[in-house]
């Protein structure tokens, strides 16, 4: 699986949009970009995933650059409950279904 690079930590003011970047310059054509988050002492929570088109669901939006070498997860109106470690993972959906977790970005929402 391609490796991802994320900033170790970020702060965001409550009520503002949180934009979390991820670089995956070695991504292959059949690899998806997945985002999970882990709130302290809990199991990871699935957020969103995409291949090349931008995606939106009730939790977040995922913007993938045209060359697919980077992406941004957007939490439109951050709340204190969004404080967590956010993991960006690239993975092919067929053949190798493993998720390889890096160190992620620790997002802190500031009141």
Partner 1 sequence: GAVVSQHPSWVICKSGTSVKIECRSLDFQATTMFWYRQFPKQSLMLMATSNEGSKATYEQGVEKDKFLINHASLTLSTLTVTSAHPEDSSFYICSAAAQRGETQYFGPGTRLLVL
Q: Which stretches of the chain bind partner 1, using CB under 8 A? A: 34, 36, 38, 41-46, 49, 87, 92-95, 97-104
Minimum gap (Å) between residue 94 Cβ and partner 1 = 5
Q: Count CB-CB contacts under 10 A for residue 69.
A: 14
> Given the complex with partner 1, which of 14 and 38 has the nearer CB atom?
38
Report the C-alpha gap between 104 and 98 in whole angstroms. Answer: 17
> Given the complex with partner 1, which of 14 and 61 has the nearer CB atom?
61
CA angle 65, 66, 70 (to 5 degrees): 30
Minimum gap (Å) between residue 95 Cβ and partner 1 = 8
CA 28, 98, 82, 13 dihedral sign is negative
> Given the complex with partner 1, which of 38 and 108 has the nearer CB atom?
38
């Amino acid at each position: 699986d391609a490796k991802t690079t994320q900033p170790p930590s970020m702060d965001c003011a409550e009520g503002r949009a949180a934009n979390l970047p991820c670089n995956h310059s070695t991504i292959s054509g059949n690899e998806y970009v997945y985002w999970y988050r882990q709130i302290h002492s809990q199991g990871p929570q699935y957020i969103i995933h995409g291949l090349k088109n931008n995606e939106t669901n009730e939790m977040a939006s995922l913007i993938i650059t045209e060359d697919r070498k980077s992406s941004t997860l957007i939490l439109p109106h951050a709340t204190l409950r969004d404080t967590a470690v956010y993991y960006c993972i690239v993975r092919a959906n067929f053949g190798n279904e493993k998720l390889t977790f890096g160190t992620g970005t620790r997002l802190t929402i500031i009141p």
